[in-house]
Amino acid sequence: MSPSKKVAFYTLGCKLNFSETSTIARSFEGEGFQRVDFSEKADIYVINTCSVTENADKRFKTIVKHAQKANPDAFVAAVGCYAQLKPQELADVDGVDLVLGATEKFKITDYLNDLSKNDFGEVHSCEIEEADFYVGSYSIGDRTRAFLKVQDGCDYKCTYCTIPLARGISRSDTLENVLNNAFEISQQGIKEIVLTGVNIGDYGKGEFGNKKHEHTFLELVKALDEVEGIERLRISSIEPNLLKNETIDFVSKSRSFVPHFHIPLQSGSNDILKLMRRRYMRELYTERVTKIREVMPHACIGVDVIVGFPGETDERFLETYQFLNELDISYLHVFTYSERDNTPAAEMEGVVPMKVRNKRSKMLRGLSAKKRRAFYESQLGTTRTVLFEGENKEGYIHGFTENYVKVKAPWNPELVNTLQEITLTEIDEDGLVRFKVSEMVSI
């Protein structure tokens, strides 16, 4: 390959996708490609797709158009979850040359022969049963934090979800490999690692998805806590039934794990949880939140919730609303239910009209804003450590405290990627927190 070839990437979806895009990008760099921004002219555009939200599907076509506008002759490849679920649909999009499914995406450079445009999108996707091997990945270079993938796939059969169809069975990286990746990240001067996966609490199932757990999630957390050079470790999203009390206790006393949990609830109605085939009832969720608050009163607790699931009557939605209103949590991620092909939920009765779904979504987003504000207010006057990010946003620098309070200060390039001890003082009109600091010292 000529070293002058340029490649650009666009990632839709979750933190896991970001970590995988970074790994794919490094394989291109290893072949002599130069990585450029997606808005620039490149020889190849790689789009890492997502199947979780309706918008991600629709945005794909727009992103292809952007690539074609930047370079009409460029080679366009689609990889990722949507590429696995609906490869032909993506291949039929005007301008797409190559579609790679779950097992092929990490071998993308093997498929690039002459980079000439194809008359039709070429598809290489496997039966999802073949996606049974593990490819470790992490993202680096574009943020003050890195996303480290520890697990892939899922054995759960939630009735609304296509992820098992898109990513295959639950399987994990070896502990040794995760620790090596964490060490590599620490050598790049990155201060924070976010652990990601499809179902990270299920960590330990072998590389090929064999059911025996080599290590537990708690063992993983304990081992990572000892990696030198990493200031902060954050657990991304973890199922309530897999977040054990021992893990919560360990995080509360650990050297580098931060007091921030993101725990999917999906519904506050036990009837709906049963229809969704979730593996817990709301009582267990309350126990988890209570336990976290006991040992880390200042922890940030985020919640995923789906509105408008089939069978969600007004009464059941109000059950969810009241449950969340009374629960001591910090913010919500609200998803409006959308039907997915080949899922049991798409065939269920009791379909909620889209207008009602949107109204409920708006109500919960309002509740989330109220919860976040109350959480931020509870933190005023406390001393926290903030990690500053690298972007100048309209003259301000932003950062997050260990317990995920977003703060802002006038732009100062010396603060980028440093940890500072600060006292939170007031909430600005945009909802972010101002602070005072006695002396700017990197920790």
The pLDDT assigned to 354 comes to: 95
Q: What is the pTM of this model?
A: 0.81
The whole-number mean pLDDT for each consecutive block of 10 residues of the chain, a chain of 443 residues, reads: 76 85 87 91 92 72 92 91 86 88 80 59 61 69 80 92 86 92 90 92 82 87 94 94 97 96 96 96 98 98 96 97 97 92 94 96 95 96 93 91 95 92 93 79 49
What is the C-alpha separation between 24 and 111, in angstroms, rounded? 13
The pLDDT assigned to 397 comes to: 93
The pLDDT assigned to 177 comes to: 92
At 49, give phi and psi (nearest 5°): -95, 165
Q: What are the sequence ranges of the domains in the chain?
A: 6-127, 137-378, 382-437
The pLDDT assigned to 129 comes to: 61
Q: Domain 137-378 carries which CATH code? A: 3.80.30.20
Coil vs helix vs strand at 142: coil
Tokens of 241: 């039934």
State the DSSP code for 304: E
Report the half-sphere exposure of 390 (CA within 13 A, side-chain side): 8
Which fold does the domain 6-127 belong to in CATH? Rossmann fold (3.40.50)
What is the C-alpha separation between 234 and 137, in angstroms, rounded? 16
At 60, give phi and psi (nearest 5°): -55, -50
Distance of CA 146 to the CA centre of its chain: 12
The pLDDT assigned to 119 comes to: 56
| DSSP H or E stretch at residue 333 | strand 331-336
